Each structure stands twice: as structure tokens, then as C-alpha cells.
């Protein structure tokens, strides 16, 4: 036995004492060669033949010995190499599918013992629970095929890699088959774990609610794009991959980017910018982009960018800026004086009208320069008003608004200007300290109302930050899991007892259907948001308008319900209705103004086309109204106009429209069945104006009016403007005739 040779294994023989597979191949081949040589030599001269045969035999024996020695060395070298491979095993069978060798570190994944295989038949070793590809693989290999498959040990449960190939003699004849078996369980488990991790990472990449992209730092093209980015831009992700980033940028933002790779590396962290993209439909996407460079061995390999849609935020900021700009523009254009003080009574804002009204410069208003000598604020009696009596001082003292305070601004050499002043604490509207004070001249009462409305618009942003009613309703339940304390402050309700039935019973009947339908619509879909306005009964019995927003956050673990936010918009709703009414009516008489009169004429003409009636427009102008103003003053003239408006309204039918379109001009719009009905209306008007009008002591005024009448029939259609113009012309013709009559008389 040679040194270093495994026990029980001999040169040319395996562990069972049989010749090893190299010997089995080599010896028969050499023996056959010698026999053939001997037969051929038999035909020669005996001595020579004998000598040759002996020589050939010796040479053959030496060759066989050398070949067996060389084969043994090769076999041992191969066996050492195989034994050194971790988790690797080699099996060899002959053509009868009997194991003739088993070498290597027998893997734990293989369910057979290597020392028990040699000499046994494959069919005896393989059990029914083993992978049937073992048997079919051996059979295919001895038939000349190469077989490869992965298997899992029936008993060990570990994964192995099996490669079975035919063994051929030098002459090409198949003498058996050899299988190389490797234990790949750890690698297979690691690969499956890596695949799971990659799958999870890809799922997170695709499911991210924001845009995630991977960018080539050299070409600035997208290497990978998730579904979120596709939704933001409105493109399928496959259309974006390979495209240049800047091809989708807004033309005005081409110079705005996350910077070069060098710049990103210099920052050393995430760089964030805001820019615009163009969506597939042409709309603009405002985005916040955060980018970071990934490096390998110090070289930038890719840029990872997160893109967040901030379009609504940018639009809201732009709307707020426009609103503030409009507020400042409106404030500067107002004819009423406005001054705003902070919690320390320092002046922080005013308009030009205030400076003109109080006759001060900005420096004087701010206290940076002395007021003009003799300038003072006075009571209606003319006495100087003490600082403690000023409306804003009183508001700062007790926090209570002062409305309609009469006062004057006096300055030597100039007439005293009289105002009614409103001073209101800002915390009554927006929770901040300060006072807003408005100055309205007595003769500008209507303008003062408009100014209050505009002032309210100016502080809309502040009102939006007032306390909201916040509550959370769990679908399927009639109780709120949360109700903020503002329910008590705003509506006088106990938030701890708030339930769905109680809220429904307090909603105005006309708004209940809208409220219920909106809530059901929101509950039907997680994440859905709806907004509406409803009237809710206050604890004091009054109705309050609530601007309400419902958001379904059932899927949010921290909320688990529908969030209902409401804020009191009563003042806004009522003010809007009041403003709409003011826009359509004359401020002095309360009658419809020109705009509303033209609308009534248009409605009458539309009705005429359906009913075949006559539309009559009477244009009335008071005679010698200027004389009343000159003789008794504008206040008396205003009283005369109010009285005339009332008499006109009393002298026509309730379905007719009486309006004042300016100065001493009035218009009556009527729908008549007959044309001569307009003349009857004119006579009623003249009769109503025959009675003198009492404007005060010794001021009994007899007034008359010139009336122009125009009527429209369906066969001659006119517009509202045309009819009003024709009636105006007819009135002036009547007035001209009266003047001519006076001149002749």
C-alpha cells in the first residue's frame, strides 16, 4: 500500500478491492493489443518471431505498468482535488448502473452514505421517495446524454446541484457515467432571501406615493421610474425610462435643476429644489425634488431623486399672494380711512384716504414728527376729545368694540371734518392682538358699509385661522370618538355628549339632505374629501352657517374614522348676500339701480316672447329738481327723492318695477296686455306727484315730472338698452315741449 493512499484503496483498485475505473479502461485495451501482435508474429521465422514476441511482450508489460502507474497518479491527483472541494462529491457507475467509486466530501444534502455505495446497484440505492431524476439521469448518461438538474434531499431537505455525464474510453466507447454533486443549500437559501428582499424593495419603489427616479449622472436620463412619477407626469413609466429629465421641464425652469454631479457631491447630502414640469396633458406640475448622488469607489454611478407634488401648495400660496395684493390695492383705493394698530397701540398700517381725512403725514401718524399746531380730535360739541375717550384707546382698555362713535378732526384755517368711527379689536376676528379703526364721513354712509366689507375681505386669511369645530366619526357608529372644545365656544354644545342623532336634529331642514348625502359619499371611499355649507342651530336658538369639510381617514390608524372640520362662516354668508343686494339697489331710495332695472327689462322681454304681451318702459325725470337742492340743500333734495320713490312704488302694481338710475331719474317697467296701459300708468304717476311734498317747516314743495314712454311688441323686438335709451329720448322730447309751451305762454 502506497503512503498517502486512503486505507482499503490500492493502485488500480477501488475501496471494494475491484480495479478502479481507469484500470478497467486501460488493461483490456493493452492486453488486446498484445494478443493481436502475437498472432501477427506467428507468421514469421520462429526464432525471429519469438524474439520479436518476447520483445513486444516486455515492451507491452512495461507500457502497461507505466500506464497503470500514470493512471493511478492521475486518479490520486483527481481524488485529492475532489476531496479538497467543499460540499462536493463525485459518483461513478459502470454501464450496468453499479456504483464503482464515490469520492469527495460527501454533502449533508445527499441522503446516502458514500462508503455504502460502491458495489451497489443504482436501483438498490434509490428509494421511491428520492428524486426520480437520479435514475433517469444515470440511464440517460450511460446512453450518451449529459444531464443536469437541481434536487432537494427527501430526508435532509437541503438543495443540491447534480451534473451527470457519460464516461468514454479513448476510442469513444461509453464505459460508465460520472455525477458531480454539490451542496447548494446555503447559496439557494441566500438567493431566495435576496430575491424576497429585491421583491420587497421593488414593491416599495413602485408603491411609493411620491415620484422616485434613478438618473444617469452623465446623460441626465431616467434609468428607472416608479408608478408614482408616472402618475405625476401622466405617462406610462416605460415611456419615461431613457428620456432626458429636462425634456419634461417647464421652459421657464430649464435653468433650475438639482445641480451638476460635482455640485451634489459638494453638498454632500440631499439637495432640494422646487421647479415645474409639464404633464402629458399640457398642465403644469409644481414639484419639490430631492436628489442625492450614489457613488461606487468614489465615482458617481447614479442619482436618486424623490419628487413630491406641491402644485396645490404653490397655487394656494399664489392665491394668497394675489389675495393680499388685492387687499392692499383695495385698501389703498378706499375712500374711507383705515388705521391698524398692534397690541402695543403702535400704528402698523393705514391707507391714503386716512391721511387725507385726518390731514396728517405718515411720519406724523407714526409719531415720528409732531402733528400740525392746533390739530386736534373733537367731540360733536367741538370740545377737544381726551385721549382716554378715543375709540381705539377704549377698545385697548376693555377689548370691547366701539361702533359709530361720532368725532371730528379740527385744524386751524380748515373746516372741521366729521366722521363716525368704528374701532374693533382684531382678536375678535383672528385671535391676534390689535385694533382696526375705520373713519367714515357722515355723508358717505353707504361708502362706509362698502369699506367694512372690503376690510372683512382683507382679513379673510386671518379669519381662516380661527378655531374650527373638529370631530371624528366612526362609520357605522352614531357617536363621535372625538369632538373639540370649540363646539362649546362656537355653538354652546357640550362636546362630550355630541352624537350623530343630536347633530342631525340641529341641522337646518333645508340643509339636512345635502349634509347626509355628502357624508355618505365620503364614507364610501377612503381618502375622499368633500366640502359643503350647512346651517346648524346654536344653543341660543340662532342659526349659524358652518363651512364643513369631511375627509375619510378610516385607513389612518391614528384616526380610524371620518374627520369633520367646520368653521363659522355666518358673517361671510350674510355679508355676501348683503353685498349682492347693495350691488343691485340704489343706496338712497332702496329702489333697484340701473343694473337691476336693465335686468328686469330683459326678463320682461324674454317673458314677452312666450306670452305675447306688451313691455312698457317709462322714463321719469323730475322738473326743476336742481332748484330744490339750491334752495333747501342736498339733504332736502335727498328727502324729496326718497318721497318720490315711495309714491312711485305705491302708484304701480306690485308686479311692476320702479327703479332709480341716477340723479332725479326714475324708471318704471311694466308688462301689459294692451298698449294703452302705459298711458294709464303715466296718469297714475302724475296724480301721485300732484300732492305737495313736505320737506320741513315752510318747505312745502310741488313737484312735477317729465315722463317718456316706450312700448315693445313681439313683432318688433328690442334689447333692454335700446328700450331704456328710447324711453330716455321720449322723456327729453316731453321736457322740450313743456319748455316750449312755457316760452310761448
CA distance 327 to 429: 17
Q: When comparing pLDDT for 714 and 407, which is higher?
A: 407
Across 576-601, average pLDDT:
84
Residue 507 confidence (pLDDT) above 70: yes
- In this prediction, residue 610 carries a pLDDT of 84
Report the run of H or E that residue 350 belongs to, with start and end: strand 347-350
Same domain, 130 and 67: yes
Q: 734, 623 in Cβ contact below 8 A? A: no
Give me the residues paired with residue 478 across strands.
Answer: none
DSSP state of 706: E
Residue 324 lies in a domain: yes
pLDDT at position 3 is 36
Query: Looking at residues 206-226, what average pLDDT do you find?
Result: 83
Secondary structure of residue 700 in the 3-state scheme: strand
Contacts of 581 (CB under 8 A, 6+ apart): none
Residue 17 falls in which region: left (phi positive, over 0), alpha (psi -120 to 50) or beta: left
How large is the average pLDDT for residues 275-296?
87
Neighbours of 95 (CB within 10 A): 14
User: Alpha helices of 362-430 — where are they, by DSSP H?
Assistant: 362-365, 391-398
Q: Are 330 and 454 in contact (CB under 8 A)?
A: yes
DSSP string, 520-544: HHHHTSTT-EEEEEEEEE-TTS-EE
181 lies in the same domain as 124: yes
| Residue range 547-575: mean pLDDT, rounded | 86
Which whole number is the average pLDDT over 340-367? 88
In DSSP terms, 93 is beta-bridged to 99, 177
Query: Is the pLDDT score of 422 beyond 60?
Result: yes
Per-residue cell: 222: 431616467
698-712 mean pLDDT: 88
- Strands 347-350 and 337-341 come out as antiparallel
Q: What is the mean pLDDT of residues 276-290?
A: 90
Same domain, yes or no: 386 and 360: yes
What is the predicted pLDDT for the residue at 737? Answer: 85
N- to C-terminal Cα separation, the chain: 165
User: With pLDDT > 90 as the criterion, what percentage of the chain qualifies?
Assistant: 19
Instruction: Pick the more confident residue, 130 or 627.
Output: 627
The stretch 221-239 carries a mean pLDDT of 89
Percentage, residues of the chain above pLDDT 70: 78
Strands 657-662 and 614-622: unpaired
Out of 267, 288, 309, a domain closes at 309
Number of domains in the chain: 5
SS3 assignment, position 368 = coil
Taking only the tens place, the pLDDT of each residue in 76-129 is: 655 565 566 667 888 899 999 998 888 766 555 566 655 577 888 988 888 777
Confidence at residue 290, expressed as pLDDT on a 0 to 100 scale? 85
Q: If you average pLDDT over residues 192-215, what whole number do you get?
A: 74
- Residue for grid cell 375709540: 391
User: What CATH number is associated with residue 634?
Assistant: 3.30.70.270
Among 15-19, 218-222, 318-322, 644-648, which range has the highest average pLDDT?
Answer: 644-648
Are 707 and 617 members of one domain? Answer: yes
684 domain residue, yes or no: yes
- From 132, 155, 186, the end of a domain falls on 186
* Better-scored residue on pLDDT, 140 or 68: 140
Q: Is the domain of 738 the same as that of 590? A: yes
pLDDT surpassing 70 at residue 37: no
Q: Are 618 and 570 contained in the same domain?
A: no
Q: What's residue 427's pLDDT? A: 67
Asked if pLDDT for residue 282 goes beyond 50, the answer is yes
Predicted confidence at residue 46, as pLDDT, reads 39
Beta-sheet strand order (sheet of 665-672): 657-662, 665-672, 614-622, 705-712
Predicted confidence (pLDDT) at residue 197 exceeds the cutoff of 50: yes
Same-domain pairing of 290 and 324: no
Of residues 117 and 739, the one with the higher pLDDT is: 117
Q: Which of 309-323, 471-485, 694-708 has the lowest average pLDDT? A: 471-485
Report how far residue 532's alpha carbon sits from residue 90's, in angstroms, rounded to the nearest whole number: 80
| Of the listed ranges 221-235, 573-587, 710-724, the one predicted with least confidence | 573-587
Does residue 348 sit in the same domain as residue 398? Answer: yes
| Residue 702: half-sphere exposure toward Cβ, Cα within 13 Å | 2
Between 389 and 429, name the one with better pLDDT: 389
Q: What is the C-alpha R_g of the chain?
A: 53
- Rounded Cα distance, 442 and 444, in Å: 5
Domain extent for 715:
585-744
Q: Name the pLDDT band for 330 (thresholds 50, 70, 90).
A: confident
CA nearest neighbour of 569 among 539, 522, 515, 532: 532
Give a yes or no: residue 200 inside a domain: no
Confidence tier at 26 by pLDDT (50, 70, 90)? very low
Residue 5 lies in a domain: no
Mean pLDDT, range 168-193, rounded to an integer = 85
pLDDT digits (tens, 9 = 90+) for 354-372: 888 888 899 988 888 888 8
What is the DSSP annotation of 105-116? ---TTS-S-GGG
The confidence score (pLDDT) of residue 201 equals: 63
Longest distance between any two alpha carbons in the chain, whole Å: 186
Beta strands of 391-461 (E only): which ranges?
402-411, 414-425, 435-441
Q: Both 49 and 157 in a single domain?
A: yes
Torsion angle, alpha carbons of 63, 64, 66, 72, to 10: 160
Residue 272: the pLDDT is: 84
**CA-to-CA distance for 325 and 318, rounded, in angstroms?**
10
pLDDT band at 71 (very low <50, low <70, confident <90, very high): low
Q: What is the pLDDT of residue 402?
A: 92
pLDDT at 84: 60
Same structural domain for residues 255 and 381? no
pLDDT tens sequence across 657-682: 999 998 899 999 999 888 778 888 88
Query: How sure is the predictor about 29, in pLDDT bands with cuts at 50, 70 and 90?
Result: very low
Is 452 part of any domain? Answer: no
Is a pLDDT exceeding 80 seen at residue 513?
yes
- Residue 627 is predicted with a pLDDT of 86
Cell numbers representing residue 696 in the block: 320741513
Is residue 648 scored above 70 in pLDDT?
yes
pLDDT over threshold 60, residue 292: yes
Output the pLDDT for position 34.
35
Last residue of a domain, one of 248, 283, 309: 309
pLDDT for res 598 = 92
Whether residue 59 has pLDDT greater than 70: no
The answer on 166 and 28 residing in a single domain is yes
Is the pLDDT score of 710 beyond 60? Answer: yes
Residue 657 lies in a domain: yes
Residue 434, by phi and psi: left (phi above 0), alpha (psi -120 to 50) or beta? left
Question: Residue 315: its pLDDT value, please?
Answer: 86
Residue 166 lies in a domain: yes
DSSP three-state, residue 256? coil
Q: What is the DSSP string of 462-505?
A: HHTTSPPEEEEE-TT-SBEEEE-THHHHHH---GGG-BHHHHHH
Whether 651 and 735 share a structural domain = yes
Q: Residue 15 pLDDT more than 90?
A: no
Q: What is the predicted pLDDT for the residue at 74?
A: 55
Please write down the HEC assignment for all residues of 645-695.
Answer: HHHHHHHCCCCCEEEEEECCEEEEEEEECCCCHHHHHHHHHHHHHHCCEEC
Is there a contact between 456 and 575 (Cβ–Cβ < 8 Å)? yes
Q: What is the pLDDT, as a whole number, of residue 466?
A: 44
Residue 555's CATH number: 3.30.450.20
Q: Is the pLDDT of residue 334 over 50?
A: yes
User: Dihedral, CA atoms, 158, 163, 169, 171, nearest 10 degrees?
Assistant: 170
State pLDDT tens for residues 424-479: 998 644 545 789 999 988 745 533 455 656 655 543 333 334 467 888 888 877 77
Angstrom distance (rounded) from CA 421 to CA 419? 6
Rounded-to-integer distance, Cα 348 and Cα 356, Å: 17
Residue 277 lies in a domain: yes
Q: Is the pLDDT of residue 689 over 50?
A: yes
**Helix, strand, coil % (nearest 5) of the chain?**
45, 30, 30
Mean pLDDT of 705-714: 88
Q: Which long-range contacts (CB under 8 A, 24 or more apart) does 735-741 make?
A: 735/621, 735/623, 735/706, 738/623, 738/706
According to the model, what pLDDT value does residue 713 have? 78
Asked whether the predicted pLDDT for residue 418 surpasses 50, the reply is: yes
Dist. CA 434–CA 479, nearest whole Å? 40
**Structure pTM?**
0.31
Amino acid at each position: 500500500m502506497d503512503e498517502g493512499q486512503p486505507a482499503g484503496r490500492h493502485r488500480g483498485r477501488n475501496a471494494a478491492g475491484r480495479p478502479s475505473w481507469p484500470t478497467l479502461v486501460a488493461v483490456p485495451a493493452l492486453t488486446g493489443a498484445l494478443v493481436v501482435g502475437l498472432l501477427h508474429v506467428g507468421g514469421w521465422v520462429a526464432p525471429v518471431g519469438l524474439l520479436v514476441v518476447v520483445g513486444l511482450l516486455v515492451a507491452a508489460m512495461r507500457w502497461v505498468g507505466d500506464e497503470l502507474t500514470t493512471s493511478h497518479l492521475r486518479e490520486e491527483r483527481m481524488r485529492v482535488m475532489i476531496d479538497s472541494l467543499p460540499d462536493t462529491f463525485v459518483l461513478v457507475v459502470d454501464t450496468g448502473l453499479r456504483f464503482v467509486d464515490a469520492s469527495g466530501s460527501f454533502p449533508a444534502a445527499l441522503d446516502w452514505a458514500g462508503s455504502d455505495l460502491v458495489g451497489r446497484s443504482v436501483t438498490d440505492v434509490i428509494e421511491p421517495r428520492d428524486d426520480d431524476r437520479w435514475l433517469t439521469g444515470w440511464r440517460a448518461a450511460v446512453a450518451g446524454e449529459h444531464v443536469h438538474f437541481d434536487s432537494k434531499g427527501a430526508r435532509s431537505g437541503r438543495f443540491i446541484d447534480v451534473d451527470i455525464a457519460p464516461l468514454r474510453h479513448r476510442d469513444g466507447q461509453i464505459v460508465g457515467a460520472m455525477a458531480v454533486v454539490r451542496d447548494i443549500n446555503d447559496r439557494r437559501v441566500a438567493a431566495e432571501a435576496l430575491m424576497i428582499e429585491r421583491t420587497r424593495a421593488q414593491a416599495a419603489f413602485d408603491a411609493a406615493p411620491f415620484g422616485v427616479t434613478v438618473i444617469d449622472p452623465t446623460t441626465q436620463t431616467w434609468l428607472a421610474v416608479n408608478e408614482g412619477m408616472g402618475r405625476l407626469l401622466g405617462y406610462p413609466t416605460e415611456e419615461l425610462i431613457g428620456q432626458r429629465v429636462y425634456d419634461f421641464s417647464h421652459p421657464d425652469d430649464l435653468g433650475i435643476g438639482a445641480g451638476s454631479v460635482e455640485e451634489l457631491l459638494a453638498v454632500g447630502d440631499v439637495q432640494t429644489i422646487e421647479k415645474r414640469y409639464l404633464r402629458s396633458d399640457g398642465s403644469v406640475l409644481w414639484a419639490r425634488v430631492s436628489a442625492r448622488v450614489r457613488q461606487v469607489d468614489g465615482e458617481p454611478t447614479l442619482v436618486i431623486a424623490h419628487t413630491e407634488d406641491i402644485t396645490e401648495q404653490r397655487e394656494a400660496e399664489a392665491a394668497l399672494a394675489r389675495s393680499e395684493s388685492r387687499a392692499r390695492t383695495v385698501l389703498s383705493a378706499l375712500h374711507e380711512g383705515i388705521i391698524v394698530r398692534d397690541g402695543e397701540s403702535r400704528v402698523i398700517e393705514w391707507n391714503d384716504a386716512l391721511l387725507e381725512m385726518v390731514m396728517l403725514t405718515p411720519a406724523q401718524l407714526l409719531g415720528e414728527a409732531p402733528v400740525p399746531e392746533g390739530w386736534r380730535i373733537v367731540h360733536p360739541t367741538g370740545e377737544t376729545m381726551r385721549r382716554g375717550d378715543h375709540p381705539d384707546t377704549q377698545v385697548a382698555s376693555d377689548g370691547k368694540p366701539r361702533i359709530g362713535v361720532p368725532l371730528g378732526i379740527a385744524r386751524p384755517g380748515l373746516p372741521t371734518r366729521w366722521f363716525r368711527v368704528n374701532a374693533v379689536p382684531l382678536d375678535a376676528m383672528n385671535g391676534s392682538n390689535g385694533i382696526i379703526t375705520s373713519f367714515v364721513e357722515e355723508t358717505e354712509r353707504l361708502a362706509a358699509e362698502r369699506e367694512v366689507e372690503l376690510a372683512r375681505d382683507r382679513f379673510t386669511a386671518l379669519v381662516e385661522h380661527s378655531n374650527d369645530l373638529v370631530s371624528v366619526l366612526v362609520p357605522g357608529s352614531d357617536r363621535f370618538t372625538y369632538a373639540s372644545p370649540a363646539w362649546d365656544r362656537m355653538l354652546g354644545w357640550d362636546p362630550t355628549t355630541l352624537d350623530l342623532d343630536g347633530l342631525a336634529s340641529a341641522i337646518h331642514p333645508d340643509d339636512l339632505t345635502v349634509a347626509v348625502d355628502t357624508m355618505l359619499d365620503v364614507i364610501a371611499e377612503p381618502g375622499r374629501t368633500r366640502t359643503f355649507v350647512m346651517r346648524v342651530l346654536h344653543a341660543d336658538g340662532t342659526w349659524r352657517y358652518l363651512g364643513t369639510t369631511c375627509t375619510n381617514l378610516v385607513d389612518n390608524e391614528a384616526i380610524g374614522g371620518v374627520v369633520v372640520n367646520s368653521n363659522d362662516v355666518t358673517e361671510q354668508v350674510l355679508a355676501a348676500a348683503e353685498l349682492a343686494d347693495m350691488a343691485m339697489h340704489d343706496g338712497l331710495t332702496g329702489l333697484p339701480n340701473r343694473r337691476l332695472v336693465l335686468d328686469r327689462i330683459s326678463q320682461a322681454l324674454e317673458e314677452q316672447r312666450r306670452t305675447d304681451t306688451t313691455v312698457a318702459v317709462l322714463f321719469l325725470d323730475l322738473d326743476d329738481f336742481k332748484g330744490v337742492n339750491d334752495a333747501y340743500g342736498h339733504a332736502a333734495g335727498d328727502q324729496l327723492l326718497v318721497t318720490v320713490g315711495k309714491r312711485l312704488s305705491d302708484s304701480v302694481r306690485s308686479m311692476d318695477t320702479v327703479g332709480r338710475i341716477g340723479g332725479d331719474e326714475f324708471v318704471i317697467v311694466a308688462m301689459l296686455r294692451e298698449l294703452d296701459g302705459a298711458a294709464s300708468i303715466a296718469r297714475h304717476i302724475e296724480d301721485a306727484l300732484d300732492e305737495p311734498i313736505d320737506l320741513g317747516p315752510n318747505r312745502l314743495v310741488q313737484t312735477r315730472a317729465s315722463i317718456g314712454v316706450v312700448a315693445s311688441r313681439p313683432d318688433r323686438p328690442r334689447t333692454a338698452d335700446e328700450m331704456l335709451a328710447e324711453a330716455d329720448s321720449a322723456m327729453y322730447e316731453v321736457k322740450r315741449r313743456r319748455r316750449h309751451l312755457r316760452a310761448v305762454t
